[in-house]
């Protein structure tokens, strides 16, 4: 299969002992494109360095809601400078996380709005994190989303109604490992209903490992299991679905 893992964190400490081997396995499994996603200024810089080293890895840069309280003054200017690098294809991940609440919610919201505005200025698509914050994510997108040059709700966990509204805004929906879990009927239903031209896949490695490896560290090679499950749900050929998702990712992130 020709695969595009649109969301990974290869600079995570979980890969410190075998990062190069994990990347090699990804290529051997058919992963032709991979977006390594920053969650802070430091990890965004690390993401760029990784993308410089491997020609099939691209970088996204941004401040995760967990790290919003630590962003510090001048973070937008620093992100803008990093965004000038030719290997940067998106801003993110950004958004809201009301599950852990590691940053105060007003601070999360402020940084989300500011990064959306920066994305419009720089004409870069966005990667959006949403965990148990569906209402506020939609409210901010309704207010700030006009004029975005594209974006994706990564590891989608909302309702079909939310997905439909995001699709109407021109956004993509990305499905991750939980779609393979037996007790995920709502996500399976959504994965079967997303228009094929707006569907992306990801691992969010090292997190959200799909069946049959659930409970172990995730890695990009396992995006194939996400594709296989979605193809089964939709009743389509897995190679054709993989190619469609890859084409979608290349279009969103402007990769030629």
CATH code (residue 136)? 3.20.20.140
Number of domain units in the chain: 1
**φ/ψ (deg, to 5) at 130:** -140, 110
Q: How far, in Å, CA of 138 to CA of 70, rounded?
A: 24
The pTM of this model reads 0.98
Res 105: pLDDT: 98
- The 3-state secondary structure of the chain reads CCEEEEEECCCCHHHCCCHHHHHHHHHHCCEEEEEEECCCHHHHHHHHHHHHHCCCEEEEECCCHHHHHHCCCCHHHHHHHHHCCCCEEEEEEEEEECCCCCCCHHHHHHHHHHHHHHHHHHCCCEEEEEECCHHHHHHHHHHHCCCCCCEEECCCCCCHHHHHHHHHCCCEEEECHHHHCCCCHHHHHHHHHCCHHHEEECCCECCCCCCCCCCCCCCHHHHHHHHHHHHHHHCCCHHHHHHHHHHHHHHHCCCC
Which residues of the chain have a pLDDT value below 70? none
Res 134: pLDDT: 98
* Alpha carbon distances (Å) from 65 to 97, 98, 243: 6, 9, 32
Res 183: pLDDT: 96
Res 108: pLDDT: 98
* Domain with 48 in it: 3-252
């Amino acid at each position: 299969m020709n695969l595009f893992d649109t969301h990974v964190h290869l600079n995570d400490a979980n890969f410190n002992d075998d990062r190069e081997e994990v990347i090699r396995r990804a290529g051997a499994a058919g992963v032709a494109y991979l977006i390594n996603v920053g969650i802070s200024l430091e990890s965004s810089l690390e993401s760029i360095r990784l993308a410089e080293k491997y020609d099939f890895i691209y970088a996204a840069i941004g401040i995760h809601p967990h790290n919003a309280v630590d962003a510090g003054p001048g973070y937008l200017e620093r992100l803008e400078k990093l965004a000038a690098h030719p290997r940067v294809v998106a801003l993110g991940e950004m958004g809201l996380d009301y599950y852990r609440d590691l940053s105060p919610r007003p601070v999360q919201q402020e940084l989300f709005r500011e990064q959306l505005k920066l994305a419009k200025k720089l004409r870069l698509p966005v990667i959006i994190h949403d965990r148990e914050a569906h209402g506020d994510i939609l409210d901010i997108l309704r207010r700030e989303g006009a004029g975005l040059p594209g974006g994706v709700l990564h590891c989608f966990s909302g309702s079909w109604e939310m997905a439909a509204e995001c699709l109407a805004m021109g956004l993509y929906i990305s499905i991750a490992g939980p779609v393979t879990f037996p007790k995920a009927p709502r996500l399976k239903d959504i994965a079967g209903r997303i228009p094929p031209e707006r569907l992306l896949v990801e691992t969010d490695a090292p997190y959200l490992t799909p069946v049959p490896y659930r409970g172990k560290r995730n890695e990009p090679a396992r995006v194939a299991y996400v594709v296989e499950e979605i193809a089964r749900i939709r009743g389509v050929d897995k190679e054709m679905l993989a190619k469609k998702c890859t084409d979608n990712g290349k279009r969103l992130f402007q990769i030629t």
